[in-house]
Amino acid sequence: MQDCIFCKMVNGDIPCVKVYENESILCFLDIAPAAKGHCLVIPKTHAENILEISPELAGEMHEVISIVAKGMLKGLGADGFNVNMNNFKAAGQLVMHAHWHMIPRFHGDGLQLWPQDKYESEEQMQAFSQKIRSGI
């Protein structure tokens, strides 16, 4: 897609530091890492968000995420990793080409990816579940 920074990386029009690729998926380093080694995994064909990813491609993404995760654990010596995806602007998506963030984690690294809230009651919790189910 024209004017998409990640499509330009796929096409080689702008550089990126590659970690892994196959025919349909590219993994490269995020330029502003939450932790060094922070990767982005993207489909090579433009899709805006997870809702535009087919189940087949999702399966391939999962495979590549597992491959890169092994690299983080064995190659970087990470103790764990986060997989995160921002969908739509309200969720913090800045680049409108679907991408999975992979962040290597180490015991005691102190990185907190999001603050947590709490429910006021069991009823409120049930109501939220019901609202989500009503839209499925």
**Interacting residues with Zn ion (CB under 5 A):** 1, 4, 6-7, 46, 97
CB-based contacts of 115, cutoff 8 Å, min separation 6: none
With respect to Zn ion, which residue has the nearer C-beta, 2 or 129? 2
- Reply yes or no on whether 97 is catalytic: no
From the list 46, 99, 101, 107, the catalytic residue is 99
Report CA 44 to chain centroid distance, whole Å: 14
Q: How many CB atoms lie within 10 A of CB 4?
A: 15
The residue ranges that bind ligand 5GP (CB under 6 A) are 5, 16, 28-32, 40, 86, 92-95
The listed partner (Zn ion, ligand 5GP, none) that binds 7, CB under 5 to 8 Å by sort, is Zn ion
The listed partner (Zn ion, ligand 5GP, none) that binds 1, CB under 5 to 8 Å by sort, is Zn ion
127 to 91, 116, 119, 134, 135: CA distances (angstroms): 22, 19, 11, 10, 13
Kindly list the catalytic residues. Answer: 99
